[in-house]
Structure 1
């Protein structure tokens, strides 16, 4: 007799079903066996039977839903659930609602849940996905943890899958940077949007002079807010490299922040580009004194200046 009433009702909703116990390939008793919750152990034993017989039914969907609520990281269960949904022509919109609930309560940092979400969204008819709602849901997830890798990774996938949201995404990520200029994840997403998506990521981006000046102006404004912020300086470096512009392009701006370690690192490259070797050595000496943890590194960098 199954003690859990919900699980009992799920199993009873279809035809006769016998559990299949786990078989461990041990010749001796395990030193430290996993102490599964009894309801979880029971549910998995019935799922083994279903998977073995190839049952794809409402009962299979309900049972997999029951199991992933207990263990959202069980990738085999997610795979079987997706297979069942596809074979049955299930309601993918309803599945998104299920995933919303799980992400909010159990799985905001769960690889399997977000990968399953990708699979569901990829199969939705283009006009069936409420894109503004999907982006707002992701914003809500980031409000809980602004640097949640899984959400940012899924967000990149979504932008590639649905290019029509890219312009809106630039505005949304601008708001993220404004809320926390130190959020390296938001800076990374902005770089992704401007280079990997809109311009193909092929290294042949053609930017107008106006676009270049606008983006350089934006990142300089953000640096001015927090001159010691490595995230915005790294974005500036990446921007100049991808546009094939010398670091000296913003020399007059960077030179004002001589109290900032990231600015000093930036100016070191500026001096090296211009073959200003004595100035480069001087910057290395300053960095040796002020960036004590990396003192040996700056000594090494100084030794390369010839």
Structure 2
């Protein structure tokens, strides 16, 4: 870790060990900055600043891509976070040594908290997120930044980029599902992207139900799509009407089209249970629904999912106990 907290701090100067005095840097000859023979305005750099950047120029000239070079870039960034060349070279090192990108994200956060309006810091974080392929923390991160400054342009720009990234990801996920409808990871990613972008509004829920129904009609015996359907229903505020439409569709698959996959029958049992819980049906209607659910449990135990026979008989007992007449 760097020992420099601020190039304006005298205490940092006292703690700082010059690179020219470090034994593990003796093999490198520092390269001083060349401002020409007659500089118009000579900048009064601190001794520590000159030391760090002299050695940075040396590793760039040598083309060194090492862990010590990475630590040197950290010192250089802490002294001047706006230096594009240092950030670019740091990325080159990170790729070369296969540095832990999650650690780099943490470093970015530290730098952004210190330099929240510095373009280079935000750009670096975006590149690292792209390399990770995981923007899952970025929307929350921008909200944290907005707590300090709700008008931070760079944070807003980063947030807009994340949303576009996620929407492009949704298109990609759809391609993956079309290629392999059983790709459970793609279904999970679809859920993640929607939850982080549009959210599960009523319109989105209807669209996703139709999308998933089409996938199920294409391949009924696919646990991934049935689980996705269950997941999106949790977000519906008008759940009872959604359940009624889905129940009709499920019965059509089961009775008319002869689809008997365990995932369909299990889903029907869940729908019947939800309906008995949510509605104000009379005693006779509840008994009919309970009988249907018990028959479905037995069909799974005795024919369509024998390997989990005991589980389905346990579910039947639970339903009997829960809705006993």
Name the TM-score, length of structure 2 as normaliser.
Answer: 0.48
Name the TM-score, length of structure 1 as normaliser.
Answer: 0.50
